[in-house]
């Protein structure tokens, strides 16, 4: 790379303060960031479009979104890998993921693995009802992998999910040139070893980028976003037809009489498990401290 680069160069990797940047013509290089960026609160993230000047990241262009940990910016899709068993699917975790996607204006996508070991009927019925895209992954059926490749083509996507759900295995199946390390599931703990150590975007053969993110056993919403309690209902898209019909304008949709959301749950219009997830997240949001809000 020369001293002056196109303003749309892309950060694809960040390790110990060095950023791997790719220009639009495909030329890459490693650069530190100017100290002034951190002082301004503009620390570069993987996925940022940046300007390189005099051998350093000199400017971070405006982001359309970001998640906190791992630090990723400008995502088109947040893809949740859901294992049908080992580990078992966790609906609370799924609902938190979908809420964060809505809050950050990132398209959610569910990728279902280990379909030969357990049925996916419940998850498909529940989440297709609220319009969440779902793709099955069957390694014996190339058509399912082709469908995932098509969903990723030309987009910046991130994979996340429980440790051991098969994120790295899926990436290697989609593009055999990636060679991402994988970890076996611990039968004692019911989760996989954390094989992903840093944020990185991997270019895909058919276009677009994919990020593998560290796995986790319990979803901490604040790894990705800090959602305030009064913003949470907007992150559950099936609540939208009912929230304006509640008796009280400041209804929390958790326990109030005259709550149209609760009435919709009782009638079956809103799945009970989704409302239970909302109530759990609402209680968590009530405990958020001011310093956590400053990170959002």
Residue 1 forms part of a structural domain: no
Are residues 177 and 155 part of one domain? yes
Q: What is the pTM of this model?
A: 0.81
For the sheet containing 201-203, what is the strand order? 134-136, 107-113, 77-83, 156-160, 209-212, 201-203
The whole-number pLDDT of residue 122 equals: 86
* 3-class secondary-structure state, position 117: coil
Mean residue pLDDT of the chain comes to 83
Average pLDDT over residues 24-44: 87
- For residues 112 and 237, membership in a common domain is answered with no
Q: What is the pLDDT of residues 169-184, one digit of tens each?
A: 788 888 777 666 655 4
Single out the residue in 192, 221, 250 at which a domain terminates.
221
Residue 295's pLDDT is 54
Pairing of strands 209-212, 156-160: parallel
Residues 166 and 206 both lie in one domain: yes
The verdict on residue 138 lying in a domain is yes
> Same domain, yes or no, for 234 and 170?
no
pLDDT tens, 214-269?
544 445 566 667 889 999 999 999 999 999 999 999 999 999 999 999 999 999 99
Residue that terminates a domain, selected from 201, 221, 241: 221
Q: How confident is the model at residue 186 (pLDDT cuts 50, 70, 90)?
A: very low
Domain count, the chain: 3
- Please answer whether residues 234 and 45 qualify as being in contact, where contact means their C-beta atoms are separated by less than 8 angstroms: no
Q: What's the whole-number mean pLDDT along residues 116-138? A: 88
- Whether 139 and 196 share a structural domain: yes
Q: CB under 8 Å to 246, separation ≥6 — which residues?
A: 253, 256, 258, 259, 260, 261
């Amino acid at each position: 790379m020369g001293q002056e680069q196109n303003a749309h160069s892309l950060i694809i990797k960040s390790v110990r303060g060095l950023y791997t940047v790719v220009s639009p013509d495909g030329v890459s290089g490693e650069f530190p960031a100017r100290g002034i960026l951190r002082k301004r609160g503009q620390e570069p993230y993987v996925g940022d479009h940046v300007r390189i000047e005099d051998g350093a990241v000199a400017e971070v262009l405006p982001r359309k979104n970001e998640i906190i940990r791992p630090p990723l910016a400008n995502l088109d899709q947040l893809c949740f890998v859901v294992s049908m068993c080992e580990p078992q699917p966790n609906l609370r975790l799924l609902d938190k993921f979908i809420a964060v996607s809505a809050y950050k204006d990132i398209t959610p996508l569910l990728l279902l693995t280990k379909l030969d070991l357990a049925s996916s009927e419940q998850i498909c019925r529940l989440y297709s009802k609220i319009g969440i895209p779902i793709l099955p992954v069957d390694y014996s059926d190339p058509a399912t992998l082709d469908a995932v490749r098509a969903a990723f083509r030309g987009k910046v996507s991130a994979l996340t999910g429980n440790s051991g759900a098969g994120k790295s295995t899926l990436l290697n199946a989609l593009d055999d040139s990636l060679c991402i390390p994988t970890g076996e599931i611990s039968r004692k703990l019911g989760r996989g070893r954390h094989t992903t150590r840093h944020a990185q975007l991997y270019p895909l053969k058919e276009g677009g980028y994919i990020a593998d993110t560290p796995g986790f056993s319990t979803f901490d919403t604040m790894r990705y976003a800090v959602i305030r309690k009064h913003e949470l209902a907007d992150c559950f898209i099936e609540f939208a037809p009912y929230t304006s019909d509640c008796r009280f304008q400041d209804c929390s949709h958790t326990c109030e009489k005259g709550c149209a959301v609760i009435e919709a749950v009782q009638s079956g219009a809103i799945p009970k498990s989704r409302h239970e997830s909302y109530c759990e997240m609402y209680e968590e949001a009530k405990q958020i401290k001011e310093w956590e809000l400053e990170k959002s």
